[in-house]
Structure 1
Amino acid sequence: MAAWCLLLLAALCPALVSCAPQCPCERPELCNPITDVRDFEVYVFDTGRSSWKFYDWSKVTTVATFGKYNPEFMCYAHSKGARMVLKGDVPLGNIVDPANRTDWISEQVDLAKKQFMDGINIDIEQGVKQDSPEYYALTALVKETTEAFHREIPGSQVSFDVAWSPKCIDKRCYDYVAIAEACDLVFVMSYDEQSQIWGDCIAMANAPYKQTLGGYDDYLMMKIDPKKIVMGVPWYGYDYPCLELTHEGVCKIANVPFRGAPCSDAAGRQIPYRIMMKQLNSSTSGRMWDDNQRAPYYNYKDDQGQIHQVWYDDPESISQKAAYVREHGLRGIGMWNGDLLDYSKDPVAQQQTRDMWNALEPADEREP
C-alpha cells in the first residue's frame, strides 16, 4: 500500500490502522498466506526448539506449531513456500453450545490473522462416546472451523489429528467419515499404539508394521478419500524397564492400566531418536530387528544394573510404511516431531538425520 494511502487511512480511521497486525518479515510479501496445494505433503510438527533452522526444507510443506509463536520461523517457512498452522485444542464440553463454538473459532481465526498463519491443526485427543452431545459437537467444530478459515483466509488449510485406527482407540469414538469430509486433511497419529495392551504385558514396537497399516486399511474401507490422509510416523521410541528378560529376549513390563486395559506403554518412557542413537552404541545387544513387527530394538543396562528394552522406528522401518503411502495414493507423510533428531555438526549424526528425512518420502516422490 502506498505511503499516502496509509496516511489517509490513519487520519480517517486511526483505530483500524493501530489494530492492523504489522508484518515482522524483512520482505512484506512473506506475510501473505501460502495458498499452493502440494500434491505430496510432508507434514512437520514443531515443538518450539531452534531445530527448525535445520529441517530439510526441500521436503517440508506444512509446519504445525506446537511451541511458542516465533515470527522469524514464520517468515522463514513462508520463504520456503511452506505453510505454518496453529495448534487448535479445546475441551469438548466447552463447545457443545454452538455460541461457545463460534466464539472459539473466531478466536482462532483472529489469532491466525495476527500471526500470519496459513490455517490450523485441530488436535483434540479426548475420549468421546458415539452419539453423545460431544460426538456431534466435535464434527460441527471441524466443519465450522474449516468454513471460517476458508472464508477469512482464502487458501488456508485445516487438518485434524486422528488415532492410528478408527476403532475407538483410547475411547475416541469420533465420526471419522464426516470429520474427514469436513476438513482438508486428517493426520493419522500412527504411534503410541501400545497405549492399551490387552494381551501379555511385554515391551513391543511403538508402531508395529501390520497393525499400523491395518489402521489405514480400515480408514480407506470407510471410503475416506486417500488424498485427505497423511500418514504420521514417530521420531521417538519407548524405553521399558524389564521386570524380566526371558531367554527368548522378551521384556516383561509392569502392569500400568490405561482406559480399561491391564497394561500400557505408560510402563515405559518416551525417548527421542537422537538420544537412542547415542545410547545404541553402548547397548548390551546392539541394534536388533523384529521380523514380525518390522521394527528395531535394543537392550541396555542402566547404572543400577536394571535391564531396559528400547523399541523405536528408524529409516528401515519408516521407509517400509512410507511405501504404503505411494501404493495407496495417500496425501503424504509427517512425523511427531521435527525436533527429535540430532541436528549437530557431528558427521555421524548428520547422516542419521538425513536418512530419517529421506525415509519419509517414497522414492517416486523425491525430486530427481
Structure 2
Amino acid sequence: MSPYLLWFLTSLIPANWAVSCPCERDDLCNQIRDERDFEVFVFDVGGKKWKSYNWSVVTTVATFGKYDAELMCHAHAEGARVVLKGDVHLAYIVDQNNRTDWITEKVNLAKSQFMDGINIDIEQAVEEGSPEYFALTDLVKETTQAFHREIPGSQVSFDVAWSPKCIDKRCYDYVSIADSCDLLFVMSYDEQSQILGDCIAMANAPVTQTLNAYDQYLNLKIAPKKLVMGVPWYGYDYPCLNLSQDGICSIAKVPFRGTPCSDAAGKQQAYSWIMKQVNGSLTGRLWDSKQQAPYFNYEDADGQIHQVWYDDPESVCQKTDYVKSKGLRGVGMWNGNILNYSDDPVAKQQTTMMWNALFGCDLA
C-alpha cells in the first residue's frame, strides 16, 4: 500500500479506531489538548523510572526509549502529553516525496500509539543556504501542519543547540523553525562539544555562557514563549592527562566538527552516579565561581586522576531563575531517568531538590 493511500484511509477514521485502547479506561487514550501556563518537558529513555517522576509538574514526556503503553496511560491520567521522537537523515528529506512519506509515517504512528505530538531531534551539521538547510525548515513546517491537522491540539517541538551561533556546525534557520513549530527545546548542555581554547576540563553548561545564549535567541526576535530551557541532569568525567597545582585538568585532544578538542574526551555520568562518587573523592564538592558550577577530583583504581564537572541544584536554579525573569515557555531536562529514585533518604532528598531546582532558587 502506498503511503498516500495509507494516509488517506487513516484520515477517514478516528485516530484510535483501528487499535484497541491499552489503558484501563478508554478515555485515557484521548489525546491531551489542554495547554499549561508553564511547560515542564521531560525526556524519557526507557524503563520504569517514570513512575517516580514528579507528575504534579510534568506537562510533556518525549519518549526516546521503546514505546510504553503504561507510560502513555499514566501520563494522560496526569494530564501530560506523550510525544514521539522524530529523527531522519537530512539528505533523505531534501526530496519532497520522501519528506511527505516520513511525516505521514510519524502521524500514523502517533495515532496508533495514542500520542500527543512529536519532538523533532535532528542534530546534524547543516550549511546555511544548502538544500538540507531549506529541507529542514520545510520539514518542521510541514510536520507541524500535518500533526495539527490530524491530531488537534498536538504539540510539535524542535531541539536546538544551546546557542543559535552555528554550534556544532548546525547552521539552521532558527527564526523560521521557531515560527513553524509550537516550541523550541534549547539543549543547554554539552557546551564543550567544541573547545576552541586550551584542551581542559570545564563545566558542561557554565551559567553566564548559557544565559547569554538565550539572549542571542531572544535577540533574533524569537518569542520567549517559544523557548523551553533544557538543563543537564548529568555531568562529564574527564581523565586528566595532567592536573596542575591550580587544579586545571588537561584532557586528551578529541576533535569534533572543526575544533581540536571536545567533551568527547570525557564520559557522560548520571547525577545518581555523581552523588555517590563525590563522597569518596579526593576533594569533595568544589565550586568554580567563574563558571558557577560544581566539580570534584577523584582517583580511580589504576591511579588515574579524574575531574568531574556537573550540575546540581545550586547551578541549575541560577539558570531556571532566568526562565521566570524572561517569561520563557518552561524548563526541561536530559533526562528524567538519571536521578536516584530509590527509597534511600539521602537520595530522595537529592532527587527532590533537583526537581525543585527547575522552578528557581526559591525552591532549590
TM-score by length of 2: 0.95
CA distance in 1, matches of 2:284, 2:277: 10
Which position in structure 1 is the counterpart of 2:41? 43
CA distance in 1, matches of 2:111, 2:331: 27
**Structure 1: which 4+ aligned runs deviate by more than 4 Å?**
16-19
Which position in structure 2 is the counterpart of 1:62? 60
2:294–2:310 CA contact under 8 A, matched in 1: yes
Q: Say which of 199, 211, 218 aligns to 1:220.
A: 218
Q: Say which of 192, 209, 233 aligns to 2:207.
A: 209
Which position in structure 2 is the counterpart of 1:10? none
CA distance in 2, matches of 1:360, 1:126: 28
Q: Deviations over 1:285-335 (max 9, x none)?
A: 000000100000000000011100000000000000000000111000000
CA distance in 2, matches of 1:185, 1:246: 43
Which position in structure 1 is the counterpart of 2:297? 299
Any unmatched runs of 5+ in structure 2? 1-12
CA distance in 2, matches of 1:357, 1:263: 32
What SS does the corresponding residue of 2:91 show, helix, strand or coil? Answer: helix
Which residue identity does 1:144 align to in structure 2?
A: E
Which position in structure 1 is the counterpart of 2:143? 145
CA distance in 1, matches of 2:360, 2:140: 30
Which position in structure 2 is the counterpart of 1:20? 18
CA distance in 2, matches of 1:289, 1:154: 47
User: How far off is 1:259 after superposition?
Assistant: 1.0
CA distance in 2, matches of 1:363, 1:252: 32
User: How far off is 1:336 after superposition?
Assistant: 0.3
Which position in structure 2 is the counterpart of 1:348? 346
Matched, 1:315 2:328: no
CA distance in 1, matches of 2:230, 2:17: 38
User: How far off is 1:362 after superposition?
Assistant: 3.1
Any unmatched runs of 5+ in structure 1? 1-15
CA distance in 1, matches of 2:279, 2:263: 24
CA distance in 2, matches of 1:278, 1:238: 14
Which position in structure 2 is the counterpart of 1:109? 107
Which position in structure 2 is the counterpart of 1:7? none
Which residue identity does 1:207 align to in structure 2?
A: A
2:317–2:361 CA contact under 8 A, matched in 1: no
Which position in structure 1 is the counterpart of 2:153? 155
Q: Deviations over 1:234-272 (max 9, x none)?
A: 000000000111111111111111111111101100000
Matched, 1:130 2:131: no
What SS does the corresponding residue of 1:24 show, helix, strand or coil? Answer: coil
Please say which of residues 355-364 and 99-108 is displaced more in the overlay: 355-364
CA distance in 2, matches of 1:20, 1:243: 59
Give the alignment's Cα RMSD to 1 decimal: 1.3
How is 1:200-349 mapped onto 2 (pairs within 5 angstroms)?
Answer: 200-349=198-347
What SS does the corresponding residue of 1:271 show, helix, strand or coil? Answer: strand
CA distance in 2, matches of 1:242, 1:95: 42
2:272–2:340 CA contact under 8 A, matched in 1: yes
User: How far off is 1:350 after superposition?
Assistant: 0.4
CA distance in 1, matches of 2:315, 2:108: 41
CA distance in 1, matches of 2:282, 2:334: 28
CA distance in 2, matches of 1:361, 1:122: 25
TM-score by length of 1: 0.94
Which residue identity does 2:40 align to in structure 1?
A: V
Q: Which has the larger radius of gyration?
A: 1
2:117–2:147 CA contact under 8 A, matched in 1: yes
Q: Say which of 98, 101, 117 aligns to 1:100.
A: 98
Q: Deviations over 1:136-195 (max 9, x none)?
A: 000000000000000000000000000000010011000000000000000000000000
Name the count of aligned residue pairs: 350
Distance 1:363 1:257, change over 3 A: closer
User: How far off is 1:19 after superposition?
Assistant: 7.0
What SS does the corresponding residue of 2:337 show, helix, strand or coil? Answer: coil
User: How far off is 1:214 after superposition?
Assistant: 1.1
Q: Say which of 165, 172, 175 aligns to 1:174.
A: 172
What SS does the corresponding residue of 2:203 show, helix, strand or coil? Answer: coil
Which position in structure 1 is the counterpart of 2:119? 121
CA distance in 2, matches of 1:323, 1:72: 34
Q: Say which of 35, 50, 66 aligns to 1:52.
A: 50
